[in-house]
Amino acid sequence: MTKRDPGRPAALLAPLLLVAAGADAQQPAVPAVYQVEVVVFQPGGGAPAAVPGPGVLPGSPAPLAATELRLGAVARRLTATGYRPLLHAAWRQPAGARIQAWNANAANAPASVGALLYQQGGLVLEIDATVAGLGPPDPAGTPGVVRIRETRRIRNGNLHYFDHPDFGVIASVRPVSAGAAAPSE
């Protein structure tokens, strides 16, 4: 009768387990879909009767219907406290790796906002927002443009405030249920 080495079966199984684990790791992860919503505003009253919705820019997702907006109370509170909402927009987009991130844009004169949402050790949101007519005019007399460019790690469902001395952006990112449609690129 031969003596068996108790460590031998484990040694034979280890490579098989590594191969199986590697096969799972190589399958691409399906990016989660999120609803991104922004309100761009500036100090000063005189808000319009309804907060302007976005125009659709080429290559961006279609804006969500007004019934799907969740920051309406925030926009109304801004108006009631002396701020003027310039743009209120929401859309759905996936959040994969940064290299595959998809930039979404919304615009309504004089404001525009771009949002890049991706996973990098957590959920990250990059905001690039501009408002025309607030900065000093250029030498040709064209009204100036002011800009916020900020990258921030975010938490689902929390409100995030991006600040500039002349205007601000409030953003919210929420996961969308698995049955909701993701935009096509």
Q: What band does 169 get if pLDDT is binned at 50, 70 and 90? A: very high
Residue 11 in tokens: 């040694």
Residue 147 included in any domain: yes
Residue 5 included in any domain: no
Q: Which domain holds residue 76?
A: 32-175
- Span 101-124, mean pLDDT? 85
pLDDT reported for residue 99: 73
Q: What burial class does residue 38 get, using C-beta atoms within 10 Å of its C-beta: 0-12 exposed, 13-18 middle, 19+ buried?
A: buried
- Span 160-178, mean pLDDT? 91
- At residue 168, what is the residue type? G
Q: How many domains would you assign to the chain?
A: 1
Residue 61 included in any domain: yes
pLDDT reported for residue 44: 84
The residue with tokens 């009767």 is 49
For the entire predicted model, the pTM comes to: 0.74
The answer to whether residue 162 scores a pLDDT higher than 60 is yes
The answer to whether residue 4 scores a pLDDT higher than 60 is no
Instruction: Please give the Cα distance from 121 to 93 (Å, whole number).
Output: 18
